[in-house]
């Protein structure tokens, strides 16, 4: 494939029939698939073939779906452009020469190119919504606990969720209906009461919701993206929504808190990849510490090593109170602020990403610029809320996204509003 969306292709036979009968699903390469290589886009796991399916894969097969292949991704989900993959970057099918977003860039590119109608991604700080926006497809980050994470290779456990990506809202709603629900193998999963999570929510009609626009999420947004966002809000008003500006001051510390927490959890989760328990096992010789360091140095890419080192530092003696504890305090403030705001409005809206898709190679050596690009998406993960990216275009014809955020377990509201576009 010219856009390099797939790391591997395989047509697995379905085990049943149902809502996905005869439909192929592309799967992000950090979700376990029995008998199909799962690398997380990393040399550390090259050649690893899981002996079991993740819960979401089991449910897809039970619904009649087939796994058509594993898609490229930023290494261990750490990136915004799918350029940190050990297997090379993915090109944006809808914006040639530009990134597809990350870290689920391969899944978004597979959908955007027409290789598949639906795909699975995972979202730790925007990794479904960012590539959905940049590739011009739909992407849903579910409420934390709505979809089982059993079989998802861990990056930051308290933040990440598996979710659907699709070329159309009907496909998104159907895939979400198949994969959501409680799983006894993931103690964080729940079945919320009276929740609607099927394609019946794709009505194309609104029940006059009030949609708040946090002014903090409009700061620093490039003009072409702001223009597309304004047009989308005008559309929502035309179909019956009330749109109003609101303020959420806690957003000012969201990016800082997110990266401290995510890197700390990554440092802990990725400690197991030492070439003995898991991961690259080379021919290095010497004392245990030297061999351990050499294997991790060879197996991990630069961005992964950067985040492990920063997370380890933030958790070290004398610094945990200064960084990790303060980040958790900021997270609690953000959660309380969202809760209070949802007493006033039904949904929140913002541009998914503050910029159009970056040209390939432009930002890969500028991590601070990439971290700041996540400013509109990471608050959702910190607050464990659901959010959707709805595709639209900038005045220059480049794909961008409109992000809608809802209270916990209100995916039905997001799907209903998205279906009006």
List, by residue number, the catalytic residues: 28, 103, 127
| Residue linked to tokens 């504890």 | 325
Distance CA 191, CA 9 (A): 33
User: Which element (helix H / strand E) includes 120?
Assistant: strand 118-123
The tally of CA atoms less than 13 A away on the side-chain side of residue 118 is 26
Bridge-based pairing of strands 347-351 and 210-214 is parallel
User: Which element (helix H / strand E) includes 243?
Assistant: strand 242-246
CB atoms within 10 A of CB 198: 15
Q: Tokens in use for 260? A: 């401290």
* CB contact set of 61 (below 8 Å; sequence gap of 6+): 12, 14, 15, 16, 53, 67
User: Which element (helix H / strand E) includes 401?
Assistant: strand 399-405
Q: Tokens in use for 24? A: 């192929």
How many helices (H) and strands (E) the chain has is answered by: 12, 11
DSSP secondary structure, 312-349, as one string: HHHHSTTTTIIIIIHHHHHHHHHHHHHHHHTTT-SEEE
Distance CA 301, CA 270 (A): 13
User: Which element (helix H / strand E) includes 387?
Assistant: strand 387-393
Distance CA 264, CA 270 (A): 10
| Residue linked to tokens 């089991």 | 58
Distance CA 193, CA 216 (A): 33
* CB contact set of 115 (below 8 Å; sequence gap of 6+): 1, 5, 6, 26, 68
Distance CA 198, CA 191 (A): 14
End-to-end CA gap in the chain: 30
Bridge-based pairing of strands 138-141 and 161-166 is antiparallel
């Amino acid at each position: 494939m010219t856009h390099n969306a797939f790391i591997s292709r395989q047509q697995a036979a379905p085990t049943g029939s149902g809502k996905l009968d005869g439909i192929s699903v592309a799967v992000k390469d950090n979700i376990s698939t029995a008998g199909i290589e799962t690398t997380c886009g990393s040399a550390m796991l090259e050649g690893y073939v899981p002996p079991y399916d993740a819960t979401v894969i089991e449910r897809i097969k039970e619904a009649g779906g087939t796994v058509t292949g594993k898609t490229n991704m930023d290494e261990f989900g750490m990136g915004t452009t799918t350029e940190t993959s050990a297997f090379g970057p993915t090109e944006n099918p809808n914006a040639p020469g530009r990134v597809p977003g990350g870290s689920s860039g391969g899944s978004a590119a597979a959908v955007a190119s027409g290789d598949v109608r639906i795909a699975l991604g995972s979202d730790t700080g925007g990794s479904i919504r960012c590539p959905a926006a940049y590739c011009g497809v739909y992407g849903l980050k579910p409420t934390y606990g709505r979809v089982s994470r059993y079989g998802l290779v861990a990056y930051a456990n308290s933040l990440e969720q598996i979710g659907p990506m699709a070329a159309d809202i009907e496909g998104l709603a159907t895939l979400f209906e198949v994969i959501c629900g409680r799983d006894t193998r993931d103690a964080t999963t729940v079945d919320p009461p009276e929740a609607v999570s099927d394609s019946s929510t794709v009505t194309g009609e609104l029940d006059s919701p009030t949609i708040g626009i946090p002014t903090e999420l409009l700061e620093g947004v490039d003009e072409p993206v702001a223009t597309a966002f304004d047009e989308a809000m005008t559309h929502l008003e035309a179909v019956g929504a009330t749109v109003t500006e609101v303020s959420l001051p806690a957003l000012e510390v969201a990016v800082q808190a997110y990266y401290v927490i995510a890197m700390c959890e990554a440092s802990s989760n990725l400690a197991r990849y030492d070439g003995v328990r898991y991961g690259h096992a080379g021919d290095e010789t010497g004392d245990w510490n030297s061999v351990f360091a050499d294997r991790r140095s060879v197996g991990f890419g630069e961005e992964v090593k950067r985040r492990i080192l920063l997370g380890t530092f933030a958790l070290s003696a004398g610094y945990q109170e200064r960084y990790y504890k303060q980040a958790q305090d900021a997270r609690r403030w953000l959660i309380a602020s969202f809760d209070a705001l949802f007493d006033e409005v039904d949904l929140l809206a913002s541009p998914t990403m503050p910029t159009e898709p970056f040209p390939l190679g432009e930002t890969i050596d500028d991590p601070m610029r990439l971290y700041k690009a996540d400013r509109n998406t990471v608050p959702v993960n910190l607050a464990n809320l659901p959010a959707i990216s709805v595709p639209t275009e900038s005045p220059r014809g480049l794909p961008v996204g409109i992000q809608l955020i809802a209270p916990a377990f209100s995916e039905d509201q997001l799907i209903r509003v998205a279906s009006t576009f």
